[in-house]
Structure 1
Amino acid sequence: MEIKIIGIKGIPLIKTGDNLSQLILKAAELQDLQLDNEDILVIAETAVAKAEGNLIHLENVKPSPNAIEIAEVTGKDAKLVEAIINESNEIIKVGPDFIISETKHGFVCANAGIDESNVDDGLATPIPLDPDNSAQLIREKLEKTTGKSVAVIISDTQGRAFREGAIGTAIGISGMLPTWDRCGELDLYDRELKTTSIAVADELSSAASMVMGQANEGIPVVIIRGVSYFKKLRNEYANIKPLIRPKKYDVFRE
């Protein structure tokens, strides 16, 4: 199997109200790229948040006493801390320079997924309000325009428990299942797999992140081509929920 990871260059800085699907297709055309059936597009959540106008104006945020207290522990700006609290269901752990929380979507990550990079000073981008819906709208527009069958993943850069560094992580999906249950298949020694579920949406997001970069690369959209299991996982009603571990199975949270 051969997989191609193709960064779409030339997409301008996103503004509120921009039509992402049109910008993607226009930039791809200038790059002499056309979407193919079974392409998977991975889109940075910051681009989606900016297009949807989902921005936090930090100067308008009034820190609560709780935010001020947490800011003193973490060294973070109290207004940013208040924004993190507002975007969270629960603050799980606080320490020097970090706040781990459960977002309103159910993701457990640092700083409620709020990002201050690649936006103007004084602004921050939270995770899109409904990443699955965002992915669906973009996918449907792309498919309608091109006539191709594709999938769309909204990705975010997140850290991992017990590991240093950050990787691309899927927070929204449309057009394919986010996990691949391989239970019942045989390994190389003809033993039946019992509990093997592959987080393919996260694997694809991480692969795309190698091309997207995290600084001034200016590549918020990546095409992944040649994924052999696309047809097996094709699903127009898929969402990201299968990737979220229910709290009752979270053995590390008190």
Structure 2
Amino acid sequence: MSARRMQVWALDGIPEVTGDDDLAQLIGDAWAADADGIRDGDILVVTSKIVSKAEGRMLPASDREDAITAETVRVVATRGTTRIVESRLGIVGAAAGVDASNTPEGTVLLLPVDPDASARALCAALRERFGVPLGVIVSDTLGRAWRLGQTDIAIGAAGVQVVDDLRGETDAQGRPLLVTVPVVADEMAAASDLVKGKATGRPVAVVRGMAEYVTPEVDTPGARTLVRTGPADMFRLGTDEALAEGYAEGFAAGRAARD
């Protein structure tokens, strides 16, 4: 068996995006002009910021704290002015994804209203234009619990399989795989960020060589299916918050027993 090869590169030629722009047109024009062309099974990874800009998700920077509150459904932890929260998209991260980087001075951006729907619209438009099966991933930057720094993850996806469920198969030694479910959409998002960068003005990358994850249909289970909150959340609170909650509950129970 030959080794699998994956190519990842950023597209040039995408201008500053505004709320009046047709994002599929801008991306399609840049892709059509790219020297490496367009092939069946290519996957585009699109930075969520340009999706948000095209969808008019911009606010004055003075509204940032109110915007974070409005986008929050649950506070997980607070450290000083930093809030780790669960956003209305189910994503747990800092500031509910409200961000001031790569935005016009004095403004902040919210995440797209429905990143999976945004990915579906882009995927359908680009498939129609180029006549090839392709996938679209909408990515955003997120920190990880117990890890320094950030990486890009998939917050929206269409026309692409977001996980590779290997449970029930065997490893190279023939042992059964019981819990192995690689999140290929996140892995491609992270790889794409290496070539897009944060300050290069290249918000879209092409992933080639992963055609096995591109699906015939556009409307596939999206990135929202990757969210694990609610009953499946093993880490509902930050450590300090969990201790404080436990102390308060224990104190209340002790007082009730005494009374």
Q: Could you tell me whether the CA contact under 8 Å between 1:181 and 1:198 is conserved in 2?
A: yes
Q: In 2 relative to 1, CA 104–243 (structure 1 residues): closer, same or farther, beyond 3 Å?
A: same
Specify the code of the residue in structure 1 equivalent to 2:147: R
Specify the code of the residue in structure 2 equivalent to 1:153: I
User: Counterpart in 2 of 1:212?
Assistant: 196
CA distance in 2, matches of 1:202, 1:81: 28
Q: CA deviation at 1:96?
A: 2.9
Q: In the alignment, does 2:240 pair up with 1:237?
A: no
**Which of 133, 158, 171 pairs up with 2:155?**
171
Task: Provide the TM-score with structure 1 as the length reference.
Answer: 0.87
CA distance in 2, matches of 1:30, 1:235: 26
Trace 1:65-214 onto structure 2 (pairs within 5 A).
Answer: 80-214=64-198
Q: In the alignment, does 2:33 pair up with 1:30?
A: yes
User: Counterpart in 1 of 2:234?
Assistant: 251
Q: CA deviation at 1:170?
A: 0.6
Q: Could you tell me whether the CA contact under 8 Å between 2:161 and 2:213 is conserved in 1?
A: no
Provide Cα deviations, 1:75-112, integer angstroms capped at 9, x if missing partner. xxxxx222111111112211035210111111111110
User: Counterpart in 2 of 1:55?
Assistant: 58
Partner of 1:145, secondary structure, is: helix
For the pair shown, the structure with the greater C-alpha radius of gyration is 2
Q: CA deviation at 1:32?
A: 2.6
Partner of 1:209, secondary structure, is: helix
Q: Could you tell me whether the CA contact under 8 Å between 2:61 and 2:108 is conserved in 1?
A: yes
CA distance in 2, matches of 1:187, 1:31: 39
CA distance in 2, matches of 1:251, 1:202: 20
Q: Could you tell me whether the CA contact under 8 Å between 1:42 and 1:155 is conserved in 2?
A: yes
Q: Could you tell me whether the CA contact under 8 Å between 2:23 and 2:54 is conserved in 1?
A: yes
CA distance in 2, matches of 1:207, 1:127: 21
Overall identity of the aligned pairs, in %: 33
Runs of 4+ that moved beyond 6 A: none
Compare 21-30 and 102-111 and name the one that shifted more: 21-30
CA distance in 2, matches of 1:138, 1:228: 18
CA distance in 1, matches of 2:120, 2:20: 17
Aligned residues: 233
CA RMSD after TM alignment: 1.5
CA distance in 1, matches of 2:33, 2:161: 31
